[in-house]
Structure 1
Amino acid sequence: MHPKKKLAAGLGIALAPVLALSLPASSASAHGYISNPPSRQAQCAAGTVACGDITYEPQSVEGSKGLTSCSGGNSRFSELDDDSKGWAVTPVSKTTSFEWKLTARHATSTWQYFAGGQKIAEFDDNGAQPGATVTHQVDFGGLSGKQKVLAVWNVADTANAFYACIDVNVGG
């Protein structure tokens, strides 16, 4: 190899890591999950339940608005839909705080909570941009016992939403 080509190749190899670290990181397409009570993806991230890809990116459960699955329709995270996986169930009161941990703050239309096949709460943010955490007080109404809560963060300026399922025992 010609000495100039060797030098150019050597410089390219030496500079590649520097360039890679200085370029802006591409952002994941989703950016939020319920951290408390621990959602299924929070349990995966904490190692409470053995999971696949979601272990490393609990904030990435994103799908089209209007879905009812824990995985947000994302096949990479389909294990979140498996009710027999051994999810830890958190005892909660009839009125419980749900805390979202947001790693990117998107303008928000609504936050919705479903349990027992019905919507139990909705909070309208009218397009506001939330902070790093968002907490909602949710009243379970007449529901009691073991419930799977589907929490949905509807983004204001896209057709997508973020999804999280939380296993709770209301009054337990």
Structure 2
Amino acid sequence: MRKKISAAIIGLGIAGVSLLGTGSAGSHGYTDSPTSRQEFCANGTVQDCGDIQWEPQSVEGPKGFPSHGPSDGTICAGGNSRFAQLDDPRGGQWPATPVTAGQSFTFRWRLTARHATTDFSYYLTKPGYDPTRPLTRSDLEDQPFLTVPYGGRIPDATVTHQGTIPDGRTGKQLILAVWTIADTGNAFYACSDVQF
């Protein structure tokens, strides 16, 4: 009997440690349309990505973008140094999704864990953006071109939003997608390189 109780206590202890180890990351997600940098790393298209290749869903950082959130130069990694490879512009050579100014586009998130949501927002870089430099706030338009409010609802595991790609861009640009969580201090970030 004593062995069974001890085994049960040990089992509960291991389960508790496992829950604590994952508790800080109760929600996870990334974009795969347009394809995000973390998705390119996870599917092996881009090499030398570090930990993000196993955790494309884990680019979590402080919410409140653009007034708060990750600092300039660390936006694509959500301010998380473990995923700093996402902030490396790689000489402007990240693969890019072809887009056309003014086209209707379906933006898609893959959520590996769902959570109460404030909104999803999408920002586009300004004309003159230099894809060979780390992303800063001054590279992005001040306002998102698409915001989808959720009012604290929990989204499905696959989330799609229909929007229009803004006009006035040519060449290589970047779309920053931000999933803001309602009941934590965090948001999830995904940078997708696009080619006009």
The TM-score, its normalising length taken from structure 2, stands at 0.72
Structure of higher CA gyration radius = 1
Point out the more displaced range, 87-96 or 146-155.
Answer: 87-96
Distance 2:95 2:185 in 1: 31
> What is the match of residue 99 of structure 1?
108
2:99–2:165 CA contact under 8 A, matched in 1: no
- Please give the residue correspondences for 1:16-165 in structure 2 after superposition, counting only pairs within 5 Å: 19=11, 23=15, 25-26=18-19, 27=22, 29=25, 30-50=27-47, 51-65=49-63, 66=65, 67=69, 69-84=75-90, 86-93=93-100, 94-116=103-125, 117-118=140-141, 119-145=144-170, 146-165=172-191
Whichever residue aligns with residue 98 of structure 2, its letter is: P
1:151–1:165 CA contact under 8 A, matched in 2: yes
Distance 1:60 1:49 in 2: 17
Number of aligned positions between the proteins: 156
Point out the more displaced range, 137-146 or 117-126.
Answer: 137-146
Distance 1:143 1:41 in 2: 27
1:31–1:60 CA contact under 8 A, matched in 2: yes
Point out the more displaced range, 83-92 or 37-46.
Answer: 83-92
Distance 1:70 1:53 in 2: 14
SS of residue in 1 equivalent to 2:41: helix
Distance 1:115 1:37 in 2: 12
Q: What's the CA shift for 1:64?
A: 0.3
Tell me, which stretches of 5 or more residues in structure 2 are unaligned? 126-139
Task: Among all aligned residue pairs of Structure 1 and Structure 2, give the percentage whose two residues are the same amino acid.
Answer: 47
SS of residue in 1 equivalent to 2:183: coil
RMSD (Å) for aligned C-alpha atoms? 2.4
SS of residue in 1 equivalent to 2:90: coil
The TM-score, its normalising length taken from structure 1, stands at 0.81
Tell me, which stretches of 5 or more residues in structure 1 are unaligned? 1-7
